[in-house]
Amino acid sequence: MFRKIAIILGLCTIINSERPHIILIVADDVGWNDLSFHGSDQIPTPNIDALAYNGIILNRHYALPICTPSRTALMTGRYPIRAGMQGWPLSAGEARSVPRDTTLMPEHFRRLGYRTGLVGKWHLGYSSEDLTPARRGFDTFFGYYNGYIGYYDHDLSERIDNVTVKGRDVHEDGPEVIAAADRVSGYFTDVITDRAVREIRRYGRDGDRRPLFLEIAHLAGHASEAEESLEVRDMAEVNATFGHIKDIKRRRYAGMIRAMDESVGEVVRALGESGMLDNSVIVFLSDNGAPTVNIYPNSGSNYPFRGVKNTLWEGGVRTAACIFSPLIVPRAMRRDVDDDDDRMMHVVDWLPTLYAAAGGDPSADLINIDGLDQWSWIVGRNNAGTARRRRNSVLLNIDEKSGAEAAIINNYKLLRRAVESTGRFFGDSGDDQSYPTYSLDEALLGSQAARAINQIDGFARTRPSRARELRARARLACRPPPTPTTGIIDVANCQDSCLFDLANDPCETRDLSGQMPEKVEALKQFIDGYRRVLVPQTNVPLDPNADPKYFNGTWMPWL
């Protein structure tokens, strides 16, 4: 009897309460060690930290190793192998996309009554107008179609038929697809911030009180193709703030991350001033690991993990992520905090998880997805009739062209056909004792985000002393010391296969495949199950008709 009443009351609460605003912030090519909530003092990120320490740090958050596959998984809730999007990302002028018959995240939220917007990066196809963001579920779009642009000139170059072509890539789409490059100037991190704040402040105007679903897909910390590829807002300010970082490229990168952190603070402040923060869910994540080396290197750091962007080592796929909402029990107050450390989450889980947070029913409405609804765990309360679901396995990827593939079951990871040169330990440790001490008091009291959070009525903010404990728990210190000359240590070579126990060896130094053949076989069978449904990669040659010269110097839909 009482259980029936509880279920009825729970359903009434969902039906009668306002749906929360969903703010999804996606960083580009930002490494595990580039945000200070994991314990490094080198690059303070107090606004992002305020979200992390007042919410939940997702210590085992996985994504795909590179941009288009990762964003495909995020927007569809499905592994990209199901759409042929698991390989090399989209190039400018390439006529492919996430299949048009696939429903994307904003379309699902629109059906729940949300106003939907995207500010920043798209990178899921734009060869024809029906593939652009404003035709795939976003009511409004301001940003760029391709993988990156210059921070100041907003340009992108591409080689088509052995000729370099170049164009601007800034658009402001709604009912019409409109090139906006001529009307936009400034450092693009700031441009994204201004547009995101504008979208937030629209809430309630003209009587429109629909809840907001807003994706803010940052350019930072992707390198550009400018002569100085790590573009900063003000180098004098960067030198003054980060003079303790001796590597000038790493210092410039720190300036890019600082600008992104300030952007997060402005967004949270705008939510507070608009009366939205007390009913918001804010997610921050990086789309993949940092490309410390290889194509478009940005001097980001995935320390203490092996590998970089576009690899299946932990450094390429285990990404920085956190979630904040006044609707959830902060990690500092949770009884199951030990369990939180071991919780595995994949980028495909965000669609069903946020859909559930919005009051939707993922089990009924989201069919044939790979993502798991983890909202009941995140919220810290079991809703009536709702069981907590736990992810115990994940496919990291199958790239049938390169042969690289990996998966995890519980704590064991099988990695096959990895490129040895990309499996080293790259990047700055951030552990130099000469760095200025990072103030958690500033992070939790002084940043824009912290001040906005502290204004939420009845919200029990995390105290600095407790945040120090959380920071220590989030810090991984498993990397053996490198050799003085090479910075490389002698670890397992996985050009064939390696098995790692991530619970005891998250830095992937000890291959256990010879000792545990039964676990290797179980993981191979797990991967083979997905191989049977894999759609071959759909890359196509670049189309000369996409040349920006045909569209007044702008990358536009051309078919």
pLDDT-derived band at 444 (thresholds 50, 70, 90) equals confident
pLDDT score, position 416? 96
Residue 214: count of CB within 10 angstroms of its CB: 26
DSSP-derived letter for residue 422 is G
Highest mean pLDDT among 22-26, 338-342, 415-419 belongs to 22-26
Query: Per the structure block, which two tokens stand in for 159?
Result: 């080689």
pLDDT score, position 294? 86
Type of residue found at 504:
N
Contact 324, 317 (CB under 8 A): no
Strand partners, 204: none
Tell me the three state secondary structure of residue 318: strand
Tens-place pLDDT, residues 169-189:
999 988 777 777 678 899 999
Query: Per the structure block, which two tokens stand in for 96?
Result: 């492919």
Whether residue 526 lies inside any domain: the answer is yes
With left for phi above 0 and alpha for psi between -120 and 50, is residue 522 left, alpha or beta?
A: alpha
Contact 138, 18 (CB under 8 A): no
| 425 alpha-carbon distance from chain centroid | 22
pLDDT at 235 over 50: yes
Query: Per the structure block, which two tokens stand in for 285?
Result: 């994540």
- Mean pLDDT calculated for residue range 192-200: 97
Whether residue 459 lies inside any domain: the answer is no
Query: Per the structure block, which two tokens stand in for 268?
Result: 């949270």
Residue 91: count of CB within 10 angstroms of its CB: 19
Domain extent, residue 229, equals 25-454+487-551
Nearest to 67 by CA among 104, 30, 23: 30
Tell me the three state secondary structure of residue 199: helix
Tell me the three state secondary structure of residue 74: helix
One DSSP character per residue, 213-276 reads EEEEE--TT---SSSSSS--S-HHHHHHHHTT--SHHHHHHHHHHHHHHHHHHHHHHHHHHTT-
pLDDT above 70 covers what percent of the chain? Answer: 91
Least confident of 36-45, 249-258, 350-359, 462-471: 462-471
pLDDT-derived band at 531 (thresholds 50, 70, 90) equals very high
pLDDT at 9 over 50: no
431 vs 526, residue with greater confidence: 526
pLDDT at 215 over 60: yes
Whether residue 6 lies inside any domain: the answer is no
Nearest to 430 by CA among 320, 516, 303, 329: 303
Q: What angle do CA 379, 380, 382 make, to 5 degrees?
A: 95
Distance CA 516, CA 512 (A): 6
Tens-place pLDDT, residues 455-494:
999 888 888 888 898 898 999 877 655 544 444 455 677 8
One DSSP character per residue, 444-488 reads IIISHHHHHHHTSTT--PPPHHHHHHHHHHH----PPPPPTTTS-
Least confident of 1-10, 46-55, 268-277, 432-441: 1-10
Tell me the three state secondary structure of residue 52: helix
pLDDT at 381 over 70: no
The residue count of the chain comes to 559
Residue 459: count of CB within 10 angstroms of its CB: 14
Whether residue 543 lies inside any domain: the answer is yes
Cβ within 8 Å of residue 163, ≥6 positions away:
none
Query: Per the structure block, which two tokens stand in for 445?
Result: 């009291």
| CA-based max dimension of the chain | 73
Whether residue 9 lies inside any domain: the answer is no
Residue 183: count of CB within 10 angstroms of its CB: 9
Contact 171, 143 (CB under 8 A): yes
The alpha carbon dihedral of 44, 47, 53, 56 has a sign of negative
Least confident of 93-107, 181-195, 214-228: 181-195
pLDDT score, position 501? 96
Distance CA 446, CA 402 (A): 48
Highest mean pLDDT among 257-271, 295-309, 481-495 belongs to 257-271
Distance CA 404, CA 418 (A): 6
Least confident of 49-63, 136-150, 392-406, 481-495: 481-495
Tell me the three state secondary structure of residue 430: coil
- Dihedral, 77, 396, 376, 454 alpha carbons, nearest 10: -90
Whether residue 467 lies inside any domain: the answer is no
Distance CA 189, CA 51 (A): 19
Nearest to 559 by CA among 68, 94, 156: 94
Before 316, cis peptide (omega within 30)? no
pLDDT score, position 256? 99
Nearest to 216 by CA among 355, 104, 120: 120
- Mean pLDDT calculated for residue range 330-337: 61
Helix (H) or strand (E) holding 73: helix 67-76
Supply the CATH number for residue 109's domain. 3.40.720.10
Whether residue 479 lies inside any domain: the answer is no
Whether residue 3 lies inside any domain: the answer is no
DSSP-derived letter for residue 547 is -
pLDDT at 390 over 90: no
pLDDT at 425 over 90: no
- Mean pLDDT of all residues belonging to the chain: 90
Type of residue found at 173:
D
- Mean pLDDT calculated for residue range 340-360: 93
Distance CA 380, CA 378 (A): 5
Least confident of 25-39, 422-436, 527-541: 422-436
* Residue 488 vs residues 65, 299, 477, 483: alpha-carbon distances, Å: 22, 17, 16, 6
pLDDT score, position 443? 74
pLDDT at 7 over 60: no
Tell me the three state secondary structure of residue 519: helix
DSSP-derived letter for residue 441 is H
Number of domain units in the chain: 1
pLDDT score, position 380? 79
* Residue 99 vs residues 66, 104, 117, 365, 398: alpha-carbon distances, Å: 19, 10, 20, 19, 19
Least confident of 3-7, 240-244, 250-254: 3-7
Tens-place pLDDT, residues 13-66:
333 358 999 999 999 999 999 999 999 999 999 999 999 999 999 999 999 999
